[in-house]
Amino acid sequence: MLVTDSVNIQSLINAVETADSAAALVGAVRSLAAAQSPEAVTTLITVLGFNNPGAAVAAVDGLVALGQDAVPALLEQLDGYNYGARAWAIRALSMIGDPRALDVLMETARGDFALSVRRAAAKGLGFIDWDALPDEHRAAALALAIDTLLVALDDPEWVVRYAAIVGLSGLMTAQPESDERVEEIKQRLSACSHEDAEIVVRARAQMALMPLP
């Protein structure tokens, strides 16, 4: 990056840090996110912890646009106490789909305190870039992700169960049709489509089953 570019990025960071209103913060974060500079990652992650959903959405968009460049810092700076910030960070990791986030997403989907965080993680497990994993690790990682989502189908919160179905739908495209796990997933989705207490979850399970042979 050119020095002049670095100076410009720093001015955008300063604008975020000195914003004196909620609206000004949203605008400053949007401008910083649009720059798509790796230098902005730390500041964008910090914004996730502010009580400003508009700024958080803009920060997530910026982090997702940076893709793999944002993943190490997101993983290192996950906030275990600020559940809002953690939810936004998990959302960003889920949308990026980098397999380096697999362990965090599986752990989160299985037992995070906040339902919004579990939901984001469950959905994200279905959209990992599996091709980025070495061949020798892919099958085992897929199996663990499937196990995690099957557990999430029993989550007490319907939004997490719904997200688990979305995640499983994504995973189905990564599994060979002959794999016995596909049949297991179909059976669980079929059970959800008939037995889940929430009609929206039953409907989403039915939708997930429709394209399957």
**The two three-digit tokens of residue 88, written as one number:** 């936004």
Nearest to 15 by CA among 66, 53, 71, 58: 58
DSSP 39: G
- Cβ contact 39:8 at 8 Å: no
- Domains of the chain by start residue, with CATH: 1-96 (1.25.10), 97-213 (1.25.10.10)
pTM for the whole structure: 0.87
The per-residue pLDDT string of the chain (213 residues; one tens digit each, 9 = 90 and over) reads 433 476 699 999 999 999 999 999 999 999 999 999 999 999 999 999 999 999 999 999 999 999 999 999 999 988 777 888 888 999 999 999 999 999 999 999 998 888 888 999 999 999 999 889 988 898 899 999 999 999 999 999 999 999 999 999 988 876 655 577 888 999 999 999 999 999 999 999 999 998 877
Helices (H), 97-198: 102-111, 115-124, 135-152, 158-172, 180-195
Residue 3 confidence (pLDDT): 36
- Confidence at residue 4, expressed as pLDDT on a 0 to 100 scale: 41
pLDDT at 83: 80
